[in-house]
Amino acid sequence: VVGPCAACKILRRRCEEKCILAPYFPPNDPFKFTTAHRVFGASNIIKFLKELPEEQRPDAVSSMVYEAKARLRDPVYGSAGAIFQLQRQVNELQEQLAKARAQLVNIQCQNDSLLALVFMDRVDDNVNDDPYFYCFDDHSAGASFFDDGNVG
Amino acid sequence: VVGPCAACKILRRRCEEKCILAPYFPPNDPFKFTTAHRVFGASNIIKFLKELPEEQRPDAVSSMVYEAKARLRDPVYGSAGAIFQLQRQVNELQEQLAKARAQLVNIQCQNDSLLALVFMDRVDDNVNDDPYFYCFDDHSAGASFFDDGNVG
C-alpha cells in the first residue's frame, strides 16, 4: 500500500489513483510541495499542469519549484532579481569582449607593421624608414601600414 | 469618488481605504492584476506584501508581475527558462573572453620579440639572429624571448 503523495498529505485530501500531483511530489519530499504551494498555491499548480501535455509536466514542476525557492529566498525580487543580475553580467562581459577584440585588432596591426619592418631591414639594410605604425584604436579610421602609400 | 482598485474589482470585494493592493493595482490597469493573480493567486500576493516593509512592496509587485508574464508566456519553463538561457550565455561569453585574452597575451609576446629584433637590427646590422619567437598558446609552458638564454 502506497501512502498519499506529499501534496495530498499536506492538503489533507484523498490521493486518488490518477492524482495529477503524485508523480511530481513523492511522499518522501514534502518540502518540494510546500515550497511550490507557498508561492503559487496548489490550485494554480494543478491548473498549470492540466494545461500541459504529460511529457512537459516534470520540467514545469521543476521550474516552478526553482522559482518558488528563489521567491522565498528573496521575497522582493525573486527569480526576476537573478534575471536582472545575469543581464547586467552579460552586458559587462559583452563590453569586455568587444574591448579585448578591439585590442587584438590593434595589436595585430602593430605586429604586421613590425614584421614588415623586420623583413625590410633584412632585405635592404640601407632603408632608413621611420618606424611609425598606422595602428589606431578605431581601426576603421586609420590607414594600415600596407596601404598604397607604404607598400608597392 | 475613486472606484475600487483593479484587484478588488476583479475579486468582487469591497476596496477598503487601507487596501494593501490598491497602491499597486490601479483601476485603469486590470491586466497587471489578472496576470499576477493567475500565477500567484491573490491570497499569496497579499501574504507576500504583508510580510514586506512598505518601501519594498512596489519592487515586489513589479517582480511578481514580471515573473507571472514569463510563466504565462512560457508555461513550462517560466522565468527559470530565462535564467538558464542567460547562464549559458554568461558561460559562453566567459569562454570567448578567456580565449581573446589568451590570444592577446600571445600576440603581445610576439610583438615584444619583434620589437627586440627591430631594435637589434638597427643597433647592430651584423647580428645574424634567427627570428624564432618563443610564443605559445599555453603561455606558461613556453620560454619568453627575454629568457636568460636569449638576452644578456
DSSP for A98-138 reads HHHHHHHHHHHHHHHHHHHHHHHHHH-TT----------SS
Q: Which of B49, B86, B108 to mutate to test the interface with A (most CBs of A within 10 A)?
A: B86
Q: Which chain B residues have a beta carbon less than 8 Å from that of A51?
A: 75
Nearest chain A alpha carbon to B87: A86
Tell if the CB–CB gap between A51 and B86 is shorter than 8 Å: no
Nearest chain B alpha carbon to A45: B39
Residue ranges of the domains in chain B? Answer: 6-73, 78-123
Q: Which chain A residues have a beta carbon less than 8 Å from that of B62?
A: 80
A&B contacts, CB < 8 Å: 135
C-alpha cell of residue A28 = 518522501
The total of other beta-carbon atoms located within 10 Å of residue B90's CB is 16
In whole angstroms, give the CA distance from residue A78 to residue B63. Answer: 7
| Average pLDDT score over residue span A24-38 | 96
Q: Which chain B residues have a beta carbon less than 8 Å from that of A121?
A: 118, 121-122
Q: Which chain A residues have a beta carbon less than 8 Å from that of B122?
A: 121
pLDDT at A82: 96
pLDDT for A140 beyond 50:
no
Q: At A138, which amino acid appears?
A: D
| Average pLDDT score over residue span A113-122 | 83
3-state secondary structure of B84: helix
Q: pTM for this one?
A: 0.76
Q: Which chain B residues have a beta carbon less than 8 Å from that of A118?
A: 114, 117-118, 121, 131
Which positions ≥6 away from B70 have C-beta within 8 Å? B78, B79, B81, B82
If you ran DSSP here, which 8-state letter would residue B144 be given? Answer: P
What is the distance in angstroms between the CA of the first residue and the CA of the last residue of chain A?
91
Tell if the CB–CB gap between A111 and B115 is shorter than 8 Å: no
CA distance B137 to chain A (A): 15
C-alpha cell of residue B71 = 510563466
Compute the mean pLDDT over every residue in chain B, rounded to the nearest whole number. Answer: 85
Tens-place pLDDT, residues B33-82:
999 999 999 999 999 999 999 999 999 999 999 999 999 999 999 999 99
Residue in the block written with cell 511529457:
A55
Tens-place pLDDT, residues A45-56:
999 999 999 999
B40, B83, B100 member nearest A97 (Cβ) = B100
